Structure 1
Amino acid sequence: MNWWERGWYKQHSFTLLFWPLSLLYLLVAAIRRVGYQRGWFASFAVEKPVVIVGNISVGGTGKTPFTLWLCKFLTEQGFTPGIVSRGYGARITEPVRVTSVHLAADVGDEPLLLAGKSNCPVVVCPDRVAAAQYLLATTDCDIVISDDGLQHYRLQRDLELVLIDGQRGLGNQQLLPAGPLREPVSRLQSVDAVIVNSGDFQSARYKMVLKPVVPIALDGQSQWPEQAQAVTLVAAIGNPQRFVDTVKSFGIEIKSTEFFRDHYAFDEKTLVGIEGPVLMTEKDAVKCRAFAKANWYYLPVEAQLPDEFKFWLQQQLNQWRDN
């Protein structure tokens, strides 16, 4: 977490100096939302249901493991899901289907991870309408998951699922740049479900837990040593403290940490002086496989959702089956 984000979440008053700019941000956000609602700006529907997985704050909230869980759940329910995403950091102007030959720099780290683990087609494009249309035209998908698409109002949606970080919450609850919010807290009242990740949040009806499993070597060959070793943590995610807590809960000793800004583009020079064994997140691992050493590992996590949420989601899916 950089010094600016610490101001948002540690309630440092210096960020509130930018409150006038937050008012401007609020005005722009309100005009966009009302404009799409009233048809001032064009929005587009696609022929299949669209499920939004998003948040109202910047930074990590657990959307990627939740999206992987959602893909598996939808498949078990008889659907054929596909994913559309912006492709953060990638220079893309047209829809691109993510494949194993792509690098994170080509399509973004999260889409690359989603494509590798979900067994579902993933299409990236800044224009999610174009991405969704391309996905449906080139695959047999019958339901679209829009990753981090809550504020992309050009794409009409059937269901909005919002993730909240249970550790950090919404910080000082101010909009950018005085706080971490992309939209006002009141936006949570209009979404279909609020899910809190590993913690508590007053507006959240459902709780998600991330369960770590045995670390996996980036080179695909080395085994996690049976004898416990202290590791160097490497992460470029929105909330690295969550990674620290997850590693500790798994019983792994941490000797040092190397944290970078979210979505940081790792290269060999960046990590050359870091002492192993190294343990990183799965999202970061997809950027480091080409130059990984034998004692570099990543820690997979699996999302667990309560039965109450599964039952509620089944009810939503049944409506689409009836239609």
Structure 2
Amino acid sequence: MGATLQRAWRGRGPLACLLWPLSRLYALLAGLHRGLYRVGLLRRERLPVAVVVVGNVVAGGAGKTPVVIEILRHLRERGIAAGVVSRGYGRRSRGVREVRAGDSPADTGDEPLLVARSTACPVFVGERRADAGRALLAAHPEVRVIVSDDGLQHHALARDLEVCVFDERGTGNGWRLPAGPLREAWPRPVDLVLCPVGLAGVAGHPLRRALAPEASRADGRRMPLAELARRPLLALAGIARPEAFFGMLREAGVVPRQTLALPDHHAFDAPVAAGGLELVCTEKDAAKLWRHAPGAWAVGLQLQLDPGFWQDFDRLLDAQLSSPHGPQAA
């Protein structure tokens, strides 16, 4: 996503105003699509287990995948078998497939591969999330909860619980695409909201993000960030907001000599010219970058979610799991 648009979405300046008529058309088409499901002309598909959708209403990503990973870890601690479905954005394969830890991100998408490697939960990708969910349940019938990584706007899959995630951008200028960052109007009904502490205009459970205290390489070697900070580094990121990662590195005391901002889901099809510097990247990028640079250091993200979120999450989910009629239609 272009830096020019990202800047325009912070306010209602000339470019945003120029694009505003297109945002009205976008809103009309999105409302029509949603309405077709509401009146039954398009059918929502219901899976026979509880479905939790983790998504956002802002274009460009807001840190959904780390939240998915935390939810999966929480469910494991509770003894609830869970799996994940995803579209697998950017993958070159077609159809439904299970994601294995040793797969190429070109076949699975980088975020599903990160989830599979981080949680050891079953992860299936497919153009239609319901198809991926059915395949997952056929292969793993013990699963009681399916978590959809993204999909708030994917109305074809019925869901029992929606979690909307915000980052520091909030709702931007409050306008719809392409005049603003919103995929749909906010506020809109969701079950739970996660947002940074003190975010203006958004109410929800507080979400704190920080870098993990260690970096890792493809061979499993680990290094504390304090030691990494003493090395000559080129920091790169192929995520929605590379500058956010660079800023977190600096806040942690890791000041790279150079930074390289790349498009979200960058494929890393060729080696990176590091100019004698060591590479440091996000966990999401590492799965692709390590094919060419196994010595690159990957730094993960740690989330802190308040106990109130987990209490509300468990209460809402348990109501679905304990229902004698099974998960309810959305």
What is the number of residues matched between the two proteins? 318
State the 1:223 CA deviation: 4.5
Aligned residue among 140, 143, 148 for 2:150? 148
Unmatched runs of 5 consecutive residues or more in structure 2: 324-330
TM-score, length basis structure 2? 0.91
SS in 2 for 1:185: coil
Output the CA distance in 1 between the equivalents of 2:116 and 2:220. 21
SS in 1 for 2:166: strand
1:109-258 equivalences under 5 Å are: 109-139=110-140, 140-165=142-167, 167-187=168-188, 190-197=189-196, 200-224=199-223, 226=227, 228-258=230-260
- CA, structure 1 residues 318+45, in 2 after alignment: closer, same or farther (shift >3 Å)? same
TM-score, length basis structure 1? 0.92
Check whether the contact 1:92–1:126 (CA below 8 A) recurs between aligned residues: no
Aligned to 2:30: 29
State the 1:153 CA deviation: 0.5
1:76-95 equivalences under 5 Å are: 76-95=77-96
Output the CA distance in 1 between the equivalents of 2:276 and 2:147. 39
State the 1:23 CA deviation: 1.0
Aligned to 1:309: 309
Output the CA distance in 2 between the equivalents of 1:321 and 1:276. 52
SS in 1 for 2:223: coil
Between 178-187 and 256-265, report the one with greater CA deviation: 178-187
Query: Kindly, what percent of the aligned residue pairs are identical?
Result: 35
State the 1:131 CA deviation: 0.8
The yes-or-no answer on 1:318 pairing with 2:318 is: yes
Query: Over aligned residue pairs, what C-alpha RMSD do you find?
Result: 1.8
Check whether the contact 2:170–2:202 (CA below 8 A) recurs between aligned residues: no
Between 312-321 and 5-14, report the one with greater CA deviation: 5-14
For residues 141-179 of structure 1, the C-alpha deviation after alignment (integer angstroms, 9 at most, x for no partner) is: 1101011111110000000100011x2112222211112
Output the CA distance in 2 between the equivalents of 1:278 and 1:199. 34
**Counterpart of 2:311 in structure 1: which amino acid?**
F
Check whether the contact 2:243–2:261 (CA below 8 A) recurs between aligned residues: no
Output the CA distance in 1 between the equivalents of 2:108 and 2:86. 9
For residues 77-125 of structure 1, the C-alpha deviation after alignment (integer angstroms, 9 at most, x for no partner) is: 2211100001101134321100123211111010110110011110001
State the 1:273 CA deviation: 4.0
- CA, structure 1 residues 77+39, in 2 after alignment: closer, same or farther (shift >3 Å)? same
**Counterpart of 1:314 in structure 2: which amino acid?**
D
State the 1:314 CA deviation: 1.6
Output the CA distance in 1 between the equivalents of 2:275 and 2:237. 12
